[in-house]
Amino acid sequence: MEKREPSHMLDLPAIKSQIGEVNFCFRQEVTSTNDWARDSASQLKAGEINLFLAENQTAGRGRGDHVWYSGPGSLTFSLLMPCPFNLQDPRRGLLALATGCGICTALRSWGFETQIKWPNDVFFRQRKLAGVLIESVDHNRVIIGCGINVNNEVSCIESATNLRSHASDPVDLSEILIALVRAINWRVSSIEQAPGELIGLVAQYDGLVGKLVQWSTGRKTGTGVAQGIADDGSLRILTDQGEIGVHSGSVTVLSNL
């Protein structure tokens, strides 16, 4: 049997006992933890929070038609949880931002000064460290899929980084996961009660503010200087025609100005 590297190992009993109210399911291999969560949703109670963790995904998905490549030593998981508003709500963008804030808060406690890159990424030193994929199940629940590069190899993934490259020793996957799940759960669950606190945190972690960016919504594209995130989660951009709000799409940094 192939011997697993210590930096790729998960302490399942520790995870189960330290994620509080969250139910825990683990599989060695799935197509995608988001698909697994969706397929399981009908058997689970609406008010519950469930963590779906897999060591390997054979068809990990990103936003749009992107593929999420991971590998041994990475974290790939989905949280199925009650949602304070459905995905038709204009504030739906806050879900990915709240998740990004949870990821940043957890990783900053290890000293990794990560930043949010609107709308759904977490960057570290100008490279992508983590991605978030939010999907709805029904009117009351969402799936929050997270892929985090921890001890996995990222040299063949363009513009990516991992935590391992910035730490003196391999990072403990289980400890990081526990902190991530707690922080994401807390941040997403408090979107409605404390929206101002969330927006304040987003501003603190915003990695785009002040940068010259190119934005694209699929139909429209343009350039301007990022001004921060509005209360509804849209990206404010100062263009030659004045300030606009971009509600969905993607952004590329052109320069730090």
User: Applying CB under 6 A, which residues contact ligand BTN?
Assistant: 32-34, 57, 60-63, 66, 68, 76-78, 120-121, 131-133, 145-147
Least separation in angstroms between residue 240's CB and ligand BTN is 30
Least separation in angstroms between residue 32's CB and ligand BTN is 3
Least separation in angstroms between residue 145's CB and ligand BTN is 3
Based on CB atoms, which residue is closest to ligand BTN, 60 or 84? 60
Based on CB atoms, which residue is closest to ligand BTN, 32 or 234? 32
Distance of CA 257 to the CA centre of its chain: 27
Write out the DSSP string of 175-231. Answer: HHHHHHHHHHHHHHHTTTT-HHHHHHHHHHHBSSTT-EEEEE-SS-EEEEEEEEE-T
Least separation in angstroms between residue 226's CB and ligand BTN is 19
Beta bridge partners of 214: 223, 252
Based on CB atoms, which residue is closest to ligand BTN, 102 or 147? 147
The CA angle 146-180-35, to the nearest 5 degrees, is 30
Based on CB atoms, which residue is closest to ligand BTN, 98 or 225? 98
Based on CB atoms, which residue is closest to ligand BTN, 129 or 225? 129
What phi and psi values does residue 93 have, to the nearest 5 degrees?
A: -60, -20
The amino acid that residue 45 corresponds to is K
Least separation in angstroms between residue 3's CB and ligand BTN is 25
The tokens 């998981």 sit on which residue? 77
Is residue 223 within 8 A of residue 215, CB to CB? The reply is: yes
Based on CB atoms, which residue is closest to ligand BTN, 38 or 225? 38
Least separation in angstroms between residue 147's CB and ligand BTN is 3
Residue whose CB is nearest to ligand BTN in the complex, by number: 131
Q: Alpha-carbon dihedral of residues 255, 201, 109, 132, nearest 10 degrees?
A: -70
